[in-house]
Structure 1
Amino acid sequence: MATVQNSHIHLPPVAGRAGWITRLTPSPTWAGESVLFSESVARAEAVLDITACQWAAELATRNADHITDALPEFGGGKRAVEVLRLGIESLIVRVLFRLRDMDPEMIMTAEAAASIREMVRRGISYERILRALHMTQADLTDALYRDCRKVVPSVLLGEQMAFISAELFGFFDRFGHELAETYREERGAWERSGDVTRAEIARNLLEGDMTPGQMEERTGYRIAERHHVALILGSTAPIVHDRGEELTGQAHMILGSFGCTAQFMAPGGFGRLWAWGSVADSADLRLTRPPVGSEILLVAGSIGDGVQGFRSSHAEALATMRLATLREPVISDSLLYSEVEVPALMSQDLDALRRFVHRHLGALAEDSAYTAELRVSLLQYLNTERSLVHTAKRLHVARNTVTYRVRRAEAILGRPIGADHHALHTALIVSDLLGAVILEPNKSTR
């Protein structure tokens, strides 16, 4: 289980009830960033100083890891943990405000409210959220006690410890009341929207807790004797925003372009929309990579038949989304499972995927502009079934340039392209999708 580690503070003691709060610093190895909304970051840095904000961001990250280890329902991927951390970091910063200058503002922040809203839509109970809050309170108290001892003179330590204890007790007591009210409001809005019903129906059918006939009766969306394709759409914004209507509109348009004559949609949590479309004859479906709007990521499974096809196409879309969100940063894109099937299956183990890429690309896996040019050229060369002419057209370069790049790539690989080209092709697709996440750092910048 993850634990909250000590911050490293090497500063002279300071006088005053809470002046030392601004001298908190993160550990020397911390290289993360805040996930707060930009306006909140600006205000926090103005009140607390940048290093104290970094301390809060590091503590929030470690506490989020602690919570997801103990309460796995808060996890489920990078975006899920970001949403959890968003609420935690905002609470820690608000506590530091209070310790610094007795900030009188409302305790419930925009970030905390957004985090609670997403948890409601995920089906996380109030009791589990309250337990996570108690873990945050405990980790924050321990961290403040440790760092207070490092900067406060011994004659003032008792006063400061009592001050921290009283302020944290008062803060979390008030926040607990606001949490209960916010949870009730968000749960009520969620239930009134009808989204919760569609989400529960989709999950029940996927998990085998509902028959196709029951779903058809409740939604009018036919499962039996239909061919289905599943989509997942999500926002690529660093933090989830409520874009349900926009995602729904995109899904309607895309499923229509595929040729689907029936559609069903349900919220998937954390700024995600699950969608299915179907036809009576699979020959009527035309799956192509559609254009998507700004800050939208779309993935699609392959065509499946009946209830098993409804489930398998969704599982394929989930695997493709997992692959797409490994990228840093996550970008607007559309991906079909059929185009990335092997990388999507392999992405469940990122370390194994990284070893696969390095094994088959060798020195060509270095993250540099030169090797990137060679990889792109080689990928297009294999995509066009080794056609120099078609590759040159796609890259908008001369045919001789393609020939040179292919030969240079072979020299770096130490083998001809034809040797195990299927694995090579897959490694190139993965490196093109994930970039620095999967490649070796450039030697010149190490």
Structure 2
Amino acid sequence: MTETGGRRPGRAWIARLGPRGAVDLDRAASPRPIVEDAVARVGADPVRWVIELNSVVVRRIVGEVPDLGGSPAAVELLRRGNEATTLRALFTLVDGPAVAPPTDDAILEGIHEFVHRAVPLERVLHGVRIGHAATTEAFLRACAELVDPEAAVDEVTAISRELFSYVDDLSDTMIRAYLVEHEVWSTSAAAARADIVRSLLSDATATATDVGEASRALGYDLRRTHEAVVVWSDVPNGSSTLQAVATEALRARGATTTLVVPVASGRLWAWGTVPSDGTVTSDGTRRTGSWETIAEALARQRTQAAFGTPGGGVEGFRRSHREARRGERVERLRREAGRVPRHATAYADVAAIALLATDLDAAGDFVRRELGGLAARSASMEALRTTLYHYIGAERSLADVARRLHVARGTVTYRVKRAQEVLGHGLDDRRFALHTALALTEELGDAVLLPRDVNER
């Protein structure tokens, strides 16, 4: 059988590719013009198939090579690049490599990102191999399902050979792009600053001479008191925008000088020198923003930030940064649980949850053991948990809980009684453990209500 339009014979089955679920073209990671061109080339259903497959493959890549993630924006960049490679693979199978479009900018953009984040080339290539294996598996499975049995063996062999050749060429292109970008980046001032900061964070034996030299190189006095912040955005935001947001937030916290280090697409680390007593700096600068005003400013830029507590010297520089990253982790877990995002997170406000969630498996075991039937994932049990959590926190004030939850006092009374029935014991039995377990469920939801293996399916 020969197809029209100069296409390869025997590839009519590709036009019958389609997603297993409902997939809208708007879910594509690629820009609309690229999606429209792809639809014109192969049809809408095969493109939807690629979009669905890409989500699965990217999850597998990030799961096996976490360095290739790093932030929601970095994952989105990876999603865009992998979708571009999968579409090119599809075009190659349909029209041949000579007709497929050149390497997409999204692929090379991802390479630049990995170089700037100091992701080793071998990790990048490991991710390529994982993606190739998963994508090839999907193509071969579809081929076996859609091609006549008598032709399937030859077609599977041809598909395997062509995809291997395609990925081999793609890997060569990515290696060359990585090495070129690495050579340029390694001689830049930004790379030097990032290397110094990473060294400071990992080396607890830095001498006074080392600290002095690092301070001069960074243009930032490491002997002062520091407040660290991690700033991130899930939407495409230029690095300059995030840097401005971080600087503004730290200035509002009273910082007189700042140090900003981009670490991933849509994510950066920053520090500010702040007064040791938290009030007035040596030059008379005062804190100019409450947490509410800082959160409002972050929300306007569609960004989030997690702040550490101030600390002196290099050790305070490190500790405040560790706290900011723990606060960021709590906020990411809250997001996965469907909680309303907090645009500004102070570590002091989430320290207990951050420490309790250090080992999520153990935290989940603790929650399910303490709550028993109350840990069930249903709307009714969630209402009981929330009410009981606030009831214990409000020292059993029905009026306070009713006002906070916008329900009648009688509703609070009923829920508390029902919760105790489900628990099988009164509130004075293991009160601290009970309230702790409830706090974890309020903040982290399914991350502690479901066993980890179920949560990651």
Query: Fold-level match, TM-score > 0.5?
Result: yes
Contact 1:21 1:52 in 2 (8 A): no
SS at match of 2:101: coil
CA-CA distance at 1:205 after TM superposition:
0.6
Contact 1:260 1:279 in 2 (8 A): yes
Whole-Å separation in 2 of the counterparts to 1:347 and 1:145:
41
Which piece of structure 1 moves more, 86-95 or 398-407?
398-407
SS at match of 1:106: coil
CA-CA distance at 1:203 after TM superposition:
0.9
1:244-267 per-residue CA deviation (whole Å, 9 max, x = no partner) reads: 233222222322232333322111
Whole-Å separation in 2 of the counterparts to 1:330 and 1:185:
42
Aligned to 2:319: 312
Contact 2:70 2:264 in 1 (8 A): no
SS at match of 1:108: coil
CA-CA distance at 1:156 after TM superposition:
3.7
Contact 2:374 2:381 in 1 (8 A): yes
Aligned to 2:86: 92
SS at match of 2:220: coil
Whole-Å separation in 2 of the counterparts to 1:332 and 1:42:
34
Contact 1:56 1:93 in 2 (8 A): no
Whole-Å separation in 1 of the counterparts to 2:20 and 2:168:
29
Aligned to 2:263: 268
1:249 equivalent in alignment to 2:244: yes
In structure 2, the gaps of 5 or more residues are 1-7, 281-286, 452-457
CA-CA distance at 1:324 after TM superposition:
2.0
CA-CA distance at 1:174 after TM superposition:
5.0
1:223 equivalent in alignment to 2:222: yes
Contact 1:375 1:428 in 2 (8 A): yes
Which piece of structure 1 moves more, 205-214 or 324-333?
324-333
Pick aligned residue for 2:299 from 280, 284, 293 = 293
Query: For residues 6-405 of structure 1, what are the structure 2 equivalents within 5 Å?
Result: 16-24=9-17, 36-37=29-30, 39=32, 47=42, 50=45, 53-54=48-49, 57-58=52-53, 61-62=56-57, 65=60, 69=64, 73-74=67-68, 83-102=77-96, 104=99, 106-126=101-121, 128-130=123-125, 132-134=127-129, 136-137=131-132, 140-141=135-136, 144-145=139-140, 147-153=142-148, 156-157=151-152, 160-161=155-156, 163-164=158-159, 167-168=162-163, 171-172=166-167, 175-176=170-171, 178-179=173-174, 182-183=177-178, 194-208=189-203, 211-224=210-223, 226-237=224-235, 241-284=236-279, 288=291, 290-291=294-295, 292-293=298-299, 295-326=302-333, 327-328=335-336, 332-333=341-342, 334-399=344-409, 401-405=411-415
CA-CA distance at 1:342 after TM superposition:
3.1
Contact 2:371 2:423 in 1 (8 A): yes
CA-CA distance at 1:281 after TM superposition:
1.8
SS at match of 2:113: helix
Residue identity opposite 2:317 in structure 1: F
Residue identity opposite 1:229 in structure 2: E
CA-CA distance at 1:419 after TM superposition:
3.3
Contact 2:30 2:84 in 1 (8 A): no
Residue identity opposite 1:369 in structure 2: A
Structure 1 residues 312 and 67: alpha-carbon distance in aligned structure 2, compared to 1, 3 A threshold: closer
Which piece of structure 1 moves more, 272-281 or 406-415?
406-415
SS at match of 2:103: coil
Whole-Å separation in 2 of the counterparts to 1:386 and 1:310:
41
TM-score by length of structure 1 reads 0.76
Structure 1 residues 429 and 131: alpha-carbon distance in aligned structure 2, compared to 1, 3 A threshold: closer
Structure 1 residues 83 and 61: alpha-carbon distance in aligned structure 2, compared to 1, 3 A threshold: farther
CA-CA distance at 1:207 after TM superposition:
0.8
Which piece of structure 1 moves more, 163-172 or 241-250?
163-172
Residue identity opposite 2:385 in structure 1: R
Structure 1 residues 67 and 435: alpha-carbon distance in aligned structure 2, compared to 1, 3 A threshold: closer
1:325-372 per-residue CA deviation (whole Å, 9 max, x = no partner) reads: 233258642322222223322334333322222223333333333333
1:428 equivalent in alignment to 2:438: yes
Contact 1:374 1:406 in 2 (8 A): yes
Which piece of structure 1 moves more, 97-106 or 198-207?
97-106
CA-CA distance at 1:161 after TM superposition:
4.8
CA-CA distance at 1:193 after TM superposition:
7.4
Whole-Å separation in 2 of the counterparts to 1:358 and 1:373:
16
SS at match of 1:107: coil
In structure 1, the gaps of 5 or more residues are 1-14, 442-446
RMSD: 4.1
Structure 1 residues 110 and 307: alpha-carbon distance in aligned structure 2, compared to 1, 3 A threshold: same
Aligned to 2:416: 406
* % same residue: 34
SS at match of 1:276: strand
SS at match of 1:325: helix
Whole-Å separation in 2 of the counterparts to 1:406 and 1:235:
39
SS at match of 1:335: strand
